[in-house]
Amino acid sequence: MSENIKTRFLIICVICSAVAGIVAFQMIRLQSTESAKALLAASENYQGESRVIYPDRGNIYDSKGRLLAGNETSYEVALDLPSISQPETVASIASSVLGLDYAQVLGYAKMNPSETGLYYQVLDNFVSQDKIIELETIKEDYRSRTAKGNEVLPNIDGLVWKAYSQRTYPEGTLASNILGFYNYLDRTGGTGFFGLEEAYNSQLAGTPREVFYVYDPQRLSTVDEVPPGVTLILTLDREIQAMTEKQLDDAIAWSGAEGGTIVVYDPEDGGVISMATTPRLDPNNYWEYGDLFPNPMPYNSAISKTYEPGSVFKVLTMAAALDSGTVERDSRFQDTGSFNIGGTTIYNWNMGGWGDVDMTECMQYSLNVCMSYLATEMGPDIFYSYLKNFGLDRKTGIDLGGESNWPMKLPGDNQWYEVDLATNSFGQGISLTPIQMVMSIGSVANDGRMMAPHLVKAMVIDGQQYDVDPVVVGTPIKAETARTLTDMLVNSLENEASVALVDGYSVAGKTGTGEIATPYGYSSSETNASFVGWGPAEDPKFLVYIWLEKPSISQWGSETAAPVFSEFVSKLVVLMDIPPDNVRMAGSNTTSGQ
């Protein structure tokens, strides 16, 4: 190598070493300044943060997979403070698009994270997708502009948004008394109130997961998806529910009633097919609850409001009398029109006597005197033991939030009197919820087996469906007793040519007219009108319970609730695809002949 080349090579090495030394010296000098130390400290505090990720709330579907409660995408809009370069622009856009206070947003946008320790400030929650599209359009428009000369282009860097789920009820008020509602406490969570949202709140909510978010994009790692909450599949049929609510509203308008309840129940497995009460809230507007349900109005009268049911209760008294052997179907009773007990005289509803009657006629003519006689013949021990076996001394345990019950007076209590034995036998002096009546009388329609009422028939957990087994809560009467009483009640309706009869179908049923207790005794002008019926009588697929509160067109259940039952069931059998008796019987005979 020539001396020239060596000299040049050494010069280049010296120059490179000098430059490297100068750069190293400058780096050390800059890192030693107070500004650099402050920036380094701030960056250490800005590594990331822990956030709790809340899963999507589980959906609720009817029995045929139609969505009743679900989730839709909403957005959280916030400020990523270290990214903001034009606080005035950010505040102006946030104010104009989201309707936020300009001065307040500007105050947040101008904050220095290194001084306040605040790097992320939420501005608004539950922002619609339309608003987010508007913000995205503005951001994209600013980015697409080209600067002219020394022009400073606007930007909204630092204005960020994040999607999350918001509870929604696509059917509005439909089945709202069953669903309840979800009340957002804030973006991160809330709680379910009433109905299924309350009863299954923890299952629907799922399990939140804490995740550490790293701000440095070089260090970001994939975050596992948080599985959603449990999905519920109901026994409820959406079409039948809609029809039930429509029929109830029509019945209230026609009868002049103050309110009402209709429950359709499957006596074989306890599933609630529909349940309609008034009034009904749109759970999408849950904040209107207080206006629609002033205290102490219950959210769902079917499970939360007790009343003296009147003569529909006679079904249970007769069931107890037959099952205990106190009487038989053909036993006779001489009805004089009055019955004395505990110094009180009991009268029939029309103040008259019906003479020599059998037990079917006692039910057909709805004789208070006959029921009082049966209760005293059984005696308090037997009579009240049957009422307990029917579950009337406790809640049913239905899987809805807000169920209540009224304590049942029993012999030995300081408020129980001998006359209560008689009045209780025909549904007065005893307060029950419609769902208690449904469950107990359901045992008569189901060969003596009493099934727990429920709304959920299956749950979907992590993609796997788990069916909910029906629960037998007791066998208060024998199957033979149940079949005998059902036949008696079929004959009772047919013998009197009741307006509750349904063309083409055999149904068993009983009317009820309950007097309303007041602080001064019982009201003579206002009543609760009820009807309970089930069918087809030989193999019941439904039990319908109707309660009209204080109807003005007539005080009698036979003239108000009974015709509603007939009209309602004529529509119900179509929606449930139950053929008329002659078609079913013909099919049964053909099958058995093979």
- Going by pLDDT thresholds of 50, 70 and 90, the confidence category of residue 177 is very high
- Average pLDDT of 168-188? 88
Angle between helices 434-445 and 314-323 (to 10 degrees): 40
- 556: which residues sit within 8 A by CB, 6+ positions away? 511, 513, 527, 529
Query: Over 90: is that where the pLDDT of 133 sits?
Result: yes
Tokens of 119: 């790097």
CA–CA distance, 192 with 181 (Å, rounded to integer): 6
Residues paired with 542 in a beta bridge: 535
H or E segment to which residue 304 belongs:
helix 301-304
Question: Burial letters for 208-245: b for 16+ Cβ neighbours within 10 Å, e otherwise?
Answer: eeeeeeeeeeeeeeeeeebebbbbbbbbbbbebbbbbb
DSSP string, 229-278: --EEEES--HHHHHHHHHHHHHHHHHHT-SEEEEEEE-TTT-BEEEEEES
The residue with tokens 């000299």 is 7
Within 8 A by CB and 6+ apart from 119, the residues are 46, 49, 80, 81, 82, 113, 215
Write the pLDDT tens digit of every residue in 218-276: 444 445 677 889 999 999 999 999 999 999 999 999 999 999 999 999 999 999 999 99
Fold of 238-593: Beta-lactamase (3.40.710)
Q: 350-383: per-residue pLDDT in tens?
A: 999 999 999 999 999 999 999 999 999 999 999 9
Contact 536, 332 (CB under 8 A): no
pLDDT per residue as tens digits for the range 147-170: 887 888 899 999 999 887 789 999
Rounded Cα distance, 429 and 383, in Å: 15
Q: Where are the domains of the chain?
A: 50-144+151-234, 238-593
- Could you tell me the CA-to-CA distances from 282 to 69, 256, 278 in Å, in that order? 12, 24, 12
Does 200 score more than 70 pLDDT? yes
Name the amino acid, one letter, at 405: N
Looking at residue 147, its pLDDT comes to 83
Q: Which whole number is the average pLDDT over 103-111?
A: 93
Q: Is the CB of residue 247 less than 8 Å from the CB of residue 262?
A: yes
Please list the residues that pair with 234 across neighbouring strands. Answer: 456
How many other β-carbons are positioned within 10 Å of the β-carbon of residue 36?
Answer: 12
More confident residue, 443 or 187: 443
Residue 423: which region, alpha, beta or left (left: phi > 0; alpha: psi -120 to 50)?
Answer: alpha
| pTM > 0.75: yes or no | yes
CATH code given to domain 50-144+151-234:
3.90.1310.10
